[in-house]
């Protein structure tokens, strides 16, 4: 019982004769009659009583009429729903991203995406590590992932977004003597060695920011003095402001902490990470493809 047979059946019901129904459907009359007989054989019932050249609905035909109309309405609704998704009028996009990328570049990227496609709902998943981002994309939980590059997974493809700089953030008043000595010239970047005697507020081992901090300190022979280790990234800035220690944060978060009284200083040498979007090397939904294209156009927009 397919859509074509149901449309043929209802055309005969509405027109009253096979001749008029065939003209309405733009098919040959013998072909329409054959379709009706095939439907009756499939259902094992007589749908029309043949009275000379006329037709009259049987009780089985009456029973089929209402459900047949409902089926065709449902089919049209399904087509419309699929069309809306393919045309980006509605749908849902699942995206995995590290929490430290939520402000930059994720917020700007999603903002531009939503302005272009307001009918698409974006659901953001926040794994703890870059490996977690790759895993969510690889197993299909998310179509796309936002993560530092490179990604060492041959099954994933990447689109680079640019570089993100990370800054040191220290408690209010830290380095006050040094800053006063530079009050008439640009404050110099801070070398990782300056953190030798400063306690640190860090995220758990294996996280992207923790790894970058450890690498920067190791390069100058400094053993980190960890004061607080927390997975609650939203607590890091308050902890720094409360004097618990210094932290390494993406530049937008660091500058915001600076506006709240913390001391935000660039590192020397600069600490940067490349950011990109990752996705599986297979068919993507229209919503995912649209974000990939937006990401390609935003290459280099990270701050």
What pLDDT digit, counting tens, does each position of 279-292 carry?
Answer: 998 778 899 999 99
pLDDT tens digits, one per residue of 127-184: 988 899 999 999 889 999 999 999 988 889 999 999 999 999 999 987 655 554 444 3
**Containing domain of residue 14, as a range?**
3-86
User: Does some domain include residue 302?
Assistant: no
Would you state the pLDDT for residue 250? Answer: 92
Residue that has been written with the tokens 């796309």 in this structure: 144
Q: DSSP of 265-282, one letter per residue?
A: EEEEEEEEEEEEEEEESS
Q: Are residues 131 and 225 in the same domain?
A: no
Question: What is the pTM for the complete model shown?
Answer: 0.70
Q: What angle do CA 222, 273, 224 make, to 5 degrees?
A: 15
Q: Are residues 178 and 152 in the same domain?
A: no
The residue among 66, 86, 106 that closes a domain is: 86
Residue that has been written with the tokens 């049987």 in this structure: 58
The residue among 86, 112, 137 that closes a domain is: 86
CB 77 within 8 A of CB 85: no
Beta strand 144-149 with 263-280 is: antiparallel
Q: Within a 10 A sphere around the Cβ of 239, how many other Cβ atoms?
A: 18
Q: Are residues 259 and 290 in the same domain?
A: no
pLDDT tens digits, one per residue of 196-250: 888 999 999 988 899 999 999 898 888 889 999 998 888 999 999 999 999 999 9
CATH number of the CATH domain containing 8: 1.10.10.10
User: Does some domain include residue 124?
Assistant: yes
User: Does some domain include residue 256?
Assistant: yes
Higher-scoring residue by pLDDT: 153, 122: 122
User: Does some domain include residue 248?
Assistant: yes
Spell out where the chain has E strands: 48-51, 54-57, 91-97, 120-125, 144-149, 156-170, 200-202, 226-229, 247-250, 263-280
Q: Are residues 255 and 289 in the same domain?
A: no
pLDDT tens digits, one per residue of 37-92: 999 999 999 999 987 767 889 999 999 999 999 998 888 888 878 888 778 888 89
Beta strand 247-250 with 156-170 is: antiparallel
């Amino acid at each position: 019982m397919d859509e074509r047979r149901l449309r043929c059946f209802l055309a005969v019901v509405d027109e009253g004769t096979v001749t008029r129904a065939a003209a309405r459907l733009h098919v040959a009359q013998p072909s329409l009659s054959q379709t009706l007989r095939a439907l009756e054989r499939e259902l094992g019932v007589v749908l029309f009583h043949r009275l000379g050249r006329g037709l009259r609905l049987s009780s089985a035909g009456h029973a089929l009429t209402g459900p047949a109309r409902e089926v065709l309405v449902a089919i049209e609704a399904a087509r419309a729903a699929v069309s809306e998704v393919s045309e980006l009028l509605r749908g849902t996009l699942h995206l995995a991203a590290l929490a430290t990328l939520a402000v930059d570049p994720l917020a700007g990227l999603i903002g531009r995406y939503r302005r272009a496609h307001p009918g698409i709902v974006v659901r953001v998943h926040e794994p703890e590590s870059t490996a977690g981002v790759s895993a969510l994309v690889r197993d299909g939980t998310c179509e796309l992932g936002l993560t530092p590059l490179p990604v060492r997974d041959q099954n994933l493809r990447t689109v680079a977004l640019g570089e993100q700089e990370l800054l040191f953030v220290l408690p209010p008043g830290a380095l006050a003597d040094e800053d006063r000595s530079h009050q008439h010239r640009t404050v110099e970047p801070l070398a990782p060695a300056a953190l030798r005697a400063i306690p640190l507020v860090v995220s758990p081992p294996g996280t992207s920011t923790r790894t970058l901090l450890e690498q920067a300190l190791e390069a100058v022979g400094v053993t980190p003095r960890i004061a607080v280790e927390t997975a609650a990234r939203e607590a890091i800035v308050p902890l720094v402001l409360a004097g618990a220690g210094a932290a390494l944060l993406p530049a937008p978060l660091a500058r915001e902490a600076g506006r709240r009284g913390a001391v935000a200083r660039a590192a020397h040498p600069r600490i940067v990470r490349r950011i990109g979007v990752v996705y599986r090397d297979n068919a993507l939904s229209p919503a995912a493809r649209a974000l990939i294209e937006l990401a390609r156009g935003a290459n280099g927009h990270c701050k």
